[in-house]
Amino acid sequence: MITHASWKKSSFSGGGEGNDCVEVADLDTHIAVRDSKDPARTPLTFPTTAFAPFLQALKGTPAPGTHAF
C-alpha cells in the first residue's frame, strides 16, 4: 500500500457526487493511479516516463514512436 502519497482526484471524474473518481499520486519515480471508491486496493503504478504515453493511448492518440493498445 502506498501510504506516503498525496492523492489528487481527476478533474474528469464525473459529475454529481463525484462517485466515479480516479485519483493520481506523483511519487518519486512513478505515477500511481487508484479508484477513489476503494483506496485500500493496490493502485496501478507507472514509471513517470510511461505515464504520458499511457494517457495518450487511453485517448486514442498514441505518442510519437509508440502504438495504441
pLDDT at 69 over 60: no
What does the pLDDT look like over 34-62, one tens digit per residue? 888 888 899 999 898 998 888 888 788 76
Backbone angles phi, psi at 41, to 5 degrees: -70, 155
pLDDT, position 9? 83
pLDDT at 30 over 80: yes
Helix (H/G/I), strand (E/B), else coil: 53: helix
Q: Grid coordinates standing for 14? A: 464525473
For the chain, what is the mean pLDDT? 79
pLDDT at 1 over 70: no
Burial 24-55 (b: 16+ CB within 10 A, else e): bbeeeebbbbbeeeeeeeebebbeeeebebbe
pTM over 0.75: no
pLDDT, position 58? 79
